[in-house]
Amino acid sequence: MNLDNNPPKRARRRSGAVTLQDVAQLAGVAPITVSRALNTPAQVSSDLLRKVQDAVQRTGYVPNRMAGGLASQRSRLIAAVVPSTVMSVFMETIEALNTALMDAGYQLMLGQSNYAPERETRLLEEVIARRPDGIFLIGLLPSGASRTRLLASGIPVVETWDLGTSPMDMLVGFSHADIGRAAADFLIGKGRTRLTMVMADDARAQRRFEAFAATVAQAGLPTVQVINVGSARDVHTGRQALTQLLAQAPDVDAVFCSSDLLALGVLTEARVRSVAVPERLAILGFGDVPLVADLVPALSTVRINGAEIGRLSAEMLIARAEGRNVDQPVVDVGFSIVERDST
């Protein structure tokens, strides 16, 4: 029986995780040598490097990147906040960004806002608190608390998929107004005179619509009919939108959609209603997601070089994370209209 007033101390339990010291003991070297071999292998001999790599493989050791980040003040983590990843026009950008970061020894942390500003705000607060080496954003962050906090954090930021006169830090994108004008000119050039638009409710699509409608008006054509589908960006909503358009403007002969998925819905409903595409109705999408080239008829669309946006953004963020200057912090990647059977 223990009569001591102080209870016996329990030995601290180990987590069971393999440590750097375990690897060093097995390799027969000092822990600092293991650290050097893993982080800067060029600084150790080939014999030592083989010993450490063999010990790592035998123990299954995984380096604690958080501990290393705390010591160097670098996390080697890039955070991205994007509107959507499911059948998304942004997937090519995200894949290119992730590939370029991984090749340089960085990891990508991805957050999805679902086009909801309040959710984007919460995600950014969590991201800033984790102090990544850089932050990737889709779109321009408007004035407000999130922009203020992000600027105050000093974390390198690249805004993408848009252009503006006052980016927070770095910017890789294109002009949505230029796309709206080019889409209108393209359809008018095809002899279309009753132009309409199906669009989701977001600022970038709104800028495309405004430029599209202004260009149509300047050509002396009837006012553009528009169906705003709110936050929905799916095929079902596109089908409903065409039904509504035909009820409002039976003589419509061209539709510009703010996404390829909405355009796919419009195309599907046109086929159901035996509306000939493109003879009776021309359809133009936005994004050039992979499946649209294989539709029947294949969808004409606005092509954005999403991979270039991802690659350039990664290069900019890595440079800033490593203390290097970015010579060209604002890049316009442009766009192109890909003509296929639907127009």
* Position 14 confidence tier, pLDDT thresholds 50, 70, 90: very low
The reported pTM is: 0.79
Confidence (pLDDT) at 35: 84
3 lies in some domain:
no
pLDDT, one tens digit per residue, over 236-247 is 999 999 999 999
8 lies in some domain:
no
User: 22: number of CA atoms within 13 Å, CB side?
Assistant: 13
12 lies in some domain:
no
Please choose, from the candidates 335, 289, 318, the residue with its C-alpha nearest in 3D space to the C-alpha of residue 89. Answer: 289
Residues 91 and 166 in one domain: yes
pLDDT, one tens digit per residue, over 145-181 is 788 888 888 899 999 999 988 889 999 999 999 999 9
Confidence (pLDDT) at 236: 95
* Position 10 confidence tier, pLDDT thresholds 50, 70, 90: very low
Domain termination residue (choose one: 7, 34, 63): 63
Q: Which structure tokens are listed for 320? A: 């800033």
* Position 280 confidence tier, pLDDT thresholds 50, 70, 90: very high
Residues 198 and 271 in one domain: yes
Residues 168 and 191 in one domain: no
Confidence (pLDDT) at 232: 80
CB 209 within 8 A of CB 197: yes
125 lies in some domain:
yes
221 lies in some domain:
yes
Label residues 71-95 b or e (16+ Cβ within 10 Å = b).
eeebbbbbbbbbbbeebbbbbbbbe
pLDDT, one tens digit per residue, over 16-69 is 577 888 889 999 999 888 888 887 888 889 889 999 889 888 887 766 555 555
Mean pLDDT of 197-212: 95
Residues 80 and 123 in one domain: yes
Residues 159 and 199 in one domain: no
CB 264 within 8 A of CB 240: no
Confidence (pLDDT) at 11: 39
Distance CA 196, CA 202 (A): 18
Domain termination residue (choose one: 5, 38, 63): 63
**CATH code of the domain covering residue 51:** 1.10.260.40
| Domain housing 202 | 176-303
CB 191 within 8 A of CB 203: no
Residues 291 and 317 in one domain: no
**CATH code of the domain covering residue 113:** 3.40.50.2300
Residues 82 and 196 in one domain: no
208 lies in some domain:
yes
Confidence (pLDDT) at 73: 57
Residues 118 and 162 in one domain: yes
Mean pLDDT of 70-96: 81
Residues 267 and 238 in one domain: yes
Q: How many residues does the chain have?
A: 343
Confidence (pLDDT) at 43: 86
Residues 83 and 106 in one domain: yes
274 lies in some domain:
yes
Please choose, from the candidates 292, 283, 295, the residue with its C-alpha nearest in 3D space to the C-alpha of residue 192. Answer: 283
Which pairs count as long-range contacts for 289-297, CB under 8 Å and 24+ apart, including other chains?
289/87, 289/88, 289/89, 289/91, 289/260, 289/261, 291/264, 292/260, 292/263, 292/264, 292/340, 293/340, 295/264, 295/267, 295/342, 296/341, 297/267, 297/340, 297/341, 297/342
Structural domain total, the chain: 3
Please choose, from the candidates 266, 239, 247, 265, the residue with its C-alpha nearest in 3D space to the C-alpha of residue 255. Answer: 266
Distance CA 341, CA 295 (A): 9
pLDDT at 223 over 90: yes
Q: Which residues pair with 338 in a beta bridge?
A: 301
**What is the layout of strands, in order, in the sheet containing 170-173?**
107-112, 77-82, 134-138, 157-160, 170-173, 330-332
134 lies in some domain:
yes
Residues 87 and 153 in one domain: yes
- Please identify which residue in the block is written with the tokens 């599209």: 212
Distance CA 267, CA 271 (A): 6
Residues 192 and 161 in one domain: no
pLDDT at 139 over 70: yes
CB 318 within 8 A of CB 104: yes
CB 322 within 8 A of CB 295: no
